[in-house]
Amino acid sequence: MAQVVERIRSAVKAHSARFERSIPLIASENLLSPYAKELLISDFHSRYAEGLPGERYYEGNEQVDEVERICLTLAKELFRCSFADVRPISGTVANLAVLKALAAPADPVGTTRLSDGAHISSAVFGAFGLRGVKPVYYAWDEERMTIDVPKTQAILREARPKLCLFGLSLFLFPLPVRELAPTLQEIGATGWYDGAHVLGLIAGGEFQDPLHEGCSVLSASTHKTLPGPQHGILLGESADPELYRKLGSAAFPGVTSNHHLHAMAALAVSLAEARAFGRAYARQVIANARALAGALAERGFDVLGEKLGYTASHTIAVRVGREGGGAPVAARLAEAGLITNKNLLPGDKSPKEPQGVRLGTPEVTRLGMTEPEMVRIAELFDALLHRNAPAERIAREAGELKREFTRLQYCFAAGEAAYRYYDLVGRPAA
């Protein structure tokens, strides 16, 4: 068994080494700061704290309570809301909590189709199916890559869902929450926003503010544009205290027991860093995405969303049918040290054979890259996919670019910490 353990450790080290020499462009990934990563391997990992601070079912939680209270306060301050719950252990678990709290089996729930950019948790084979709700699909404006408001108003008035989800996995532009809010009020529906992808952009004040535009509930994961741990969060802004009671009960005991205290502590640090650095980080994430999208379009790539400037978020969608299709292109890019993912685009039928790839700038921005580096990345894409440069050469050039950016930015002790961000385990900050 000792050999098995060494094999596991070797595989993890090989993965870390690969990413250290690659350019990470996955829209749903980011890097933890030294302080936050340190807490993931603390004794919090080994403990239980069911319930709320001051109302636990286990003893020995005084410090856990202190950290969780700080985490809740930071969340409420950062998102200017009156309710927060940090017990969901992932974004999908947070979504399940909302469904459990606010929808019964067979209820109609508004959402976006997967091919239009929705997350799998809103599919019949995901959390929607697990709860047994019936999706009511919004109309989609492919040219603007957002919900078609007039057509969706008609759909909502006819189907009258009691819960309406706004949120995407391919999230290029703010959604028309404010425009659809009167219709939701008219039919008595609760607005729900899945901010997993754009949580850091919302925190930085550089996207939309759904809790003040017409949604009462926001669910999210906490490791994408918010560079925190893999965890979940629920936020709310409502005059109805019963809504908060339902959400809290759904979070625990509904969909979680122990809520991964080490990740909760890391989230608290990440929220504090978002308070300190979030606006500058969000601005650069978006600036980098726009720069990369524009540079790719200039080199002949079919970048979606051209009418509105390609993107207003961290995400870029590229149709690569003429380059070979989403799956082959993503594999070829990965071979060349450019890590992306194949992605459904409007009109696609098979998630295994889509025509798109999705790119994101959260991680490269976290490492300190800015607009000039986005142009260099676009040049690598062009050389590989349009000029048939060898993957080995592009991988070497990608590694050379990556070696120029070896320390995390937009976090505490970023310059002082003796820290390699792809270490097998994080070292405490200096």
Q: How many helices (H) and strands (E) does the chain have?
A: 14, 17
pLDDT category of residue 396 using cuts at 50, 70 and 90: very high
Whether 56 is in a domain gets the answer: yes
Q: Would the CA dihedral through 373, 378, 382, 388 be positive or negative? A: positive
Would you say 195 and 167 are in contact if contact means Cβ atoms under 8 Å apart?
Answer: yes
319: left (phi over 0), alpha (psi -120 to 50) or beta: beta
- The answer to whether residue 208 sits within a structural domain is yes
**Which pLDDT score is estimated for 130?**
82
Mean pLDDT of the chain: 93
Give the C-alpha distances (Å, rounded to integers) separating 259 from 262, 308, 315, 322. Answer: 9, 40, 29, 46
| 366 found inside a domain | no
Q: Give me the pLDDT at residue 177, please.
A: 98
E strands, 18-119, in order: 23-24, 51-52, 55-56, 83-85, 108-111
385, part of any domain: no
- CATH number where 230 lies: 3.40.640.10
Distance in angstroms (rounded) separating the CA atoms of residues 224 and 274: 12
Report the pLDDT value the prediction gives residue 351, as an integer from 0 to 100: 83
pLDDT in tens, 193-232: 999 999 999 999 999 999 999 999 999 999 999 999 999 9
- Residue 140's H or E segment, with its range, is strand 140-141
Give residue 118's pLDDT.
86
The total number of structural domains that make up the chain: 1
**Are the C-beta atoms of residues 230 and 254 closer than 8 Å to each other?**
no
Average pLDDT over residues 106-110: 95
Global pTM value: 0.94
Give percent of the chain with pLDDT exceeding 70: 96
The reply to whether 309 falls in a domain is no
DSSP 46: G
> Highest mean pLDDT range out of 130-144, 210-224, 408-422?
210-224
Query: Phi and psi of 146, rounded to 5°?
Result: -155, 175
> 181: Cβ–Cβ under 8 A, 6 or more apart, which residues?
191, 213, 214
Position 114 scores a pLDDT of 87
Q: What pLDDT score does 165 carry?
A: 97
pLDDT interval class at 239 (50, 70, 90) = confident
- Are residues 199 and 224 in contact, defined by beta-carbon separation less than 8 angstroms? yes
Question: 202: domain range?
Answer: 37-270
